[in-house]
A and B are shown apart, each in its own frame.
Chain A
Amino acid sequence: MSFFDSLRQKAPFLDKLADSFTPTLTRDEKFRLKYKLPANENILEDTNAEVSFATSIKDGKGHSDRVNNKGRKTAYVYSGRLFLTPHFLVFRDAFDHSSCVLILNISTIKRVERSPSESYEFALLVTLYTGAKVLIQFIGIRYRSEQFCDKLKLNLKENIPNAKTLPAFLETSYSEFLIAKNILGKKDITVPRAGLGQHFKYPGNPTMVKEKAKLRLWFDYFRENGRNLAVVQTPMFRKLIRIGVPNRMRGEIWELCSGAMYMRYANSGEYERILNENAGKTSQAIDEIEKDLKRSLPEYSAYQTEEGIQRLRNVLTAYSWKNPDVGYCQAMNIVVAGFLIFMSEEQAFWCLCNLCDIYVPGYYSKTMYGTLLDQRVFESFVEDRMPVLWEYILQHDIQLSVVSLPWFLSLFFTSMPLEYAVRIMDIFFMNGSITLFQVALAVLKINADDILQADDDGMFIAIIKHYFQTLGQSAHPDSSDIKYRQITKFQELLVTAFKEFSVISEEMAMHARHKYEKGIFQNIETFMKRTQLRHMPKTFNLSSDDLSNIYDMFYQSIETYKISMGTGSSNMGFEVFIQFLSKFCDSCRPCEKDKDPAFRKQKRNFLQRLFDNWDSAHIGELTLNDVVTGLDKLVTVDLLQAINYFFSLYDTDGDGELHREEVLQLSEGLLLLTEPWKSGRYVDLLTKKRIEDDIAENIIKESGGEIATMNQIELPTGVTIDEEKYKVEQAERYLKAASNFLQRSFEYAKAVDLAEEVNLIDLSDDEGEEKRTVKQKQLESIKANAALDPTHPKVIDLPTFRMIILADETYELFFSNTLRSSVHVDEHVNIDNKNKVLRSMFDGILADGKRVAEQVRRRVDSVATRSSIASVESTPTAAASSITTKEEKYDDLDDFTSEHQPENEELLQSSWFEIDDANETSTKAIQERSFEPLSANSSEEKSNLIEFEA
């Protein structure tokens, strides 16, 4: 997995692979899936073996000829593979993996002994709780067999506490009841608590004779092959399921086939615990469940009683607590209502768990991606198997999903009469979700002739509805052959589904899911994004494009959350928040100074403050709406609002005043936020203006004051900008602003009455150099200003704070522009995509060169009109020295004066040296790009001129 993670960081597109609906299963996962074992049952050992079974029952009724003289049965010997997991012993034959499948929970093992064997070196005789014996003859190297036995011994030892729970568990089993009553002659034994059908009758009109005959068959099977936690599944087992499980056995067989029984045994008491722990709590899922309780199989009499409703409520709410990612989805109520007719609450609960996890993953998830995907897969099957019908459906614009979606989602429970739906469920739990496809295809196939006459959705639906309502009728009512006439439509459906469409395999479904999942996920993500953007809080400063961009960045950051699957938390924790901001906020980007632990600490402090401010629900997590609202405030175009907001970040008690400690923290925050400009990683508008002024000044000098008309202006051909100089100037300006800020803060602070001991001097230890200078200055200010005497506490209020900020050109600009433009919500950030980063930097340089040239030209315009004033205007520093003309670089420059581009304000605000070590490149780029020969377009310039004068 770590390998995959590292790959993922390198190539974001691989993320898609990780999201895959069906990631390649490991051997253990495949094994668990096949035998429906709980999640921790990994294969510990496996070996080739031959296995034979002997039942203990000496009731004389064994009419098989497999009973030898001694009364002990000898049975077939199966050759195959034996697996050991922490709690199971699983054997499957080598022939077709289904002639003999033994799934044995080791709690059922009473004794294990070495058995003398003539033909094998190594054999174990396993005695079960029923007295039945399993003879395991190991094939292979001796020491491997020994190893297997040692592991088994160990497991058995560790399992002793579990084994003690077996008798209580078996009391809940109908098969045990059946055996106990009929073989052991316990007539007074009570029927284990089962489904609602026990009291409210089972659906349909099963003739008692048939039900009894079926029970008899199962009784025989259990006696011969074991049952519940220790059962051998043979082809007979599956045959008995196909002919229809008797109602009284149904709950247990579903539970067994689905593996829910293993979950219930391994998690004894869990269901009760979940219910008790969450008693009285409410949630959205609970509200939704309540709405549907009376709407679940309402025609079944138990669901018109409080008892039935209560059971349904318990199971659904317990599941919503167990798996909050899914919570509750309509259709689950119907499915569970179906389960509860045959199962106890606890059985139904675990059955629902395995249904959602193993059988139909994603069907009931918040985005229902599994449902959407399987509908697409189903359509592809229809297209493939019944092309004529498919063509017809397309032509007549019939929505296939209108009928098929409820089949899949409620497992035919609402579509067919209950008595038939449960027969489908018998097979579903045995064969898996492919059953749904097979039955659905068969329904269409059988009704194809009628459907081909339907010309709209209404008729199509009517045909299917009629069909389901007449499932009990003869499939061939007009046949002369009485036997033929006796075949019901339902029998015909089963034959079509499981004979004709047996070619539709689980593998085919998996393959098709792989094929369509990408498209489905994309649709879901588009839909989710659209919906969420629509529900965003009102923003004043962020455009809808910005919101879309923030949405993308937000969900890219929360890796655990899968939009399309609707799983995981969609909230942002603090660490992720830091990562998130570092992607598009210049002040939060990783930088050199991060190496300084003091700086890192300050950064974290500030971000924590911001995070807490945004965290509207005070849950230590941000929702997307929190982030949007927060960013909207951060990038406000209103200078005063920006200042107010910053003030409020520090005024945590909201009293409108900042105390000394708060002022110090605020100044730290300011230092931190302005760090990228102080260190020269970015330039602000003031510096930019300086550069432009200097260039213009230089040009005027070059021309020697002889500019008469626009046409005569010639720009110098190459200019080097003394980058270092501007950087130093800017840094000084920011430092000065910081120190001025502190000084003024304390100068203008108002005195408060209550005395407050703050030791300013103490703060200077363990600080970075930057900080120390500031502290030094603070100290100086304190000395210089009596008002700052720490023994006389002062506060500053918002108007004072505003005044102080506005008094400083740099800080004023910072709040009016620099900060806002350093938050790049408009820039689409592609995580870890280095190419993109490089390219945008280069674009920045390129555009900036043009920009400078534009400004120069404008400058010249203004100089041309007011040449005398120009020199006064430009800053009287040694600007000229920073610009040197280089004639030799004159040659191959583009003439771009003809394309008078509108200024791109965004590009204007990006810097000319975004990355320190790229200085050379950027300087060079400016040299080449900035000063190009300018042959002014006179008419255009004139119009500028007029405007200017006016």
Chain B
Amino acid sequence: MNTSVTSIKLVLLGEAAVGKSSIVLRFVSNDFAENKEPTIGAAFLTQRVTINEHTVKFEIWDTAGQERFASLAPMYYRNAQAALVVYDVTKPQSFIKARHWVKELHEQASKDIIIALVGNKIDMLQEGGERKVAREEGEKLAEEKGLLFFETSAKTGENVNDVFLGIGEKIPLKTAEEQNSASNERESNNQRVDLNAANDGTSANSACSC
């Protein structure tokens, strides 16, 4: 296994209560909490995964969603290499907000930031919730703006790891070319996320110690 570790600073943005923190919790601790307290300001968590025999350490900045916290966001997306812009597929307003965030990131964040557009809460569709943002709408926005696109459920875990995997794949290609040139033979069918952090369930910070 490659000993070098690539750190990826990743920031989550999106309207309040779309499930930003839950996506992170699922990714970092493979856990879900029904009534999670809103994030005040921001939270920071880390998770290591192995992509193509290369260790990637995600430094995740999870931000508060309420409109008035938006002025704090630049503090957290500063120097971020990747961003998840999250919306709730049952809340059209949250998709509008996602558009704004994409715009803001393109204008204000680092030039080569990788953005993934994530429609969350698809589990609610099975539970009788009505879809208000069509998959095509999300795909269209993603195509227009050059974003990765996923629909996820933090509750069931569906697609959550794929989001981070997708981002992880894009970034080493860009930044770690030199250090990684030898291992360029990509075994495309061998790409797995290795959730190597054994979680004790207390909190995500366990992931930081690894």
Known: A456-B59, A458-B205. A402 touches B70 (CB 8 A): no
B36 CB-CB contact with A under 8 Å: yes
Q: List 13 A-B contacts (CB under 8 A).
A: A288-B66, A291-B17, A298-B35, A330-B65, A331-B38, A333-B38, A401-B72, A405-B72, A406-B41, A456-B59, A458-B45, A530-B108, A534-B103
Q: Which residues of A contact B71 (CB under 8 A)?
A: 367-368, 372, 523-524, 527-528
A79 contacts the other chain (CB 8 A): no
Cβ-defined contact, A330 with B205, below 8 A = no
Known interface pairs A329-B68, A456-B59. Does A527 touch B74 (Cβ–Cβ under 8 Å)? yes
Closest residue on chain A to residue B37 by CB atoms: A295
Verify if A457 is at the interface (C-beta below 8 Å from B).
yes
Q: Residues 391-432 of chain A: 1 if any B CB is under 8 Å from the residue's CB, otherwise 0?
A: 000000001011001100110001000000000000000000
Complex: A372 Cα to B100 Cα, angstroms: 23
B107 interface residue (CB < 8 Å to A)? yes
Interface hits, B94-108 → A, CB 8 Å: 100, 103-104, 107-108
Q: Are B107 and A534 in contact (CB under 8 A)?
A: yes
Is the CB of A334 closer than 8 A to any CB of chain B?
A: yes
Q: Are B203 and A402 in contact (CB under 8 A)?
A: no
Q: Is the CB of A330 within 8 A of B38?
A: yes
Pick from B17, B74, B100, B104: contact of A292, CB below 8 A.
B17
CB 8 Å contact bits of B69-101 with A (1 = contact, 0 = none): 111101110000000000000000000000010
Q: Mark B residues whose CB is within 8 Å of A.
A: 16-17, 34-38, 40-46, 59, 64-66, 68-72, 74-76, 100, 103-104, 107-108, 203, 205, 207-209
Which residues of A sit under 8 angstroms from B100, Cβ to Cβ? 531, 534-535
Q: Which residues of B contact A288 (CB under 8 A)?
A: 16, 66
Q: Which residue of the partner chain B has the closest CB to A293? A: B35
What is the chain B residue whose CB lies nearest that of A566? B68
Question: Given the complex, which residues of A lie within 8 Å of B16, measured CB to CB?
Answer: 288, 291-292, 330
The 3 A-B pairs at the shortest CB distance, nearest first, are namely A458-B208, A405-B41, A462-B205
Q: Classify chain A's interface size.
A: 35 or more
- Chain A proximity of B73: nearest CB distance (Å): 9
For the complex, what is the distance from the CA of A27 to the CA of B59, rounded to whole Å?
51
* A727: interface (CB < 8 Å): no
Out of B37, B46, B75, which one reaches A401, CB within 8 Å? Answer: B75
Shortest Cβ distance from residue A561 to the other chain B in the assembled complex, whole angstroms: 16
| A915 interface hit (Cβ, 8 Å) | no
In the bound complex, CA of A874 to CA of B115 (Å): 64
| Contact, CB under 8 Å: A298 / B37 | yes
Asked if A43 is an interface residue, CB under 8 A from chain B, the answer is no
Which chain A residues lie closer than 8 Å to B43 at the CB level? 402
Q: Which of A291, A296, A367 has the most B CB atoms < 10 Å from its CB?
A: A291
Interface status of A461 (Cβ within 8 A of chain B): yes
Which parts of A723-764 form the interface with B (CB within 8 Å)? none
Question: A294 contacts the other chain (Cβ, under 8 Å)?
Answer: yes
**When the two chains form their complex, are residues A330 and B75 in contact, meaning their CB atoms are under 8 A apart?**
no
Q: How far is the CA of A729 from the CA of B110 in the complex (A)?
A: 60
Q: Which residues of A contact B17 (CB under 8 A)?
A: 291-292, 295
> Which residues of chain A (433-462) have a CB below 8 Å from chain B?
456-459, 461-462
Q: Does A771 contact B (CB under 8 A)?
A: no
Give CA–CA (A52, B107) in the complex, Å.
68
Given the complex, which residues of B lie within 8 Å of A566, measured CB to CB? 68
| Known contacts A399-B75, A461-B205, A534-B104; is-contact A330 B35 (Cβ 8 Å) | no
**With A402-B43, A534-B104 already in contact, 16 other A-B pairs whose C-beta atoms are closer than 8 Å:** A296-B37, A329-B68, A330-B64, A331-B38, A333-B38, A399-B42, A399-B44, A458-B59, A458-B207, A461-B208, A527-B70, A531-B104, A534-B100, A534-B103, A535-B100, A566-B68
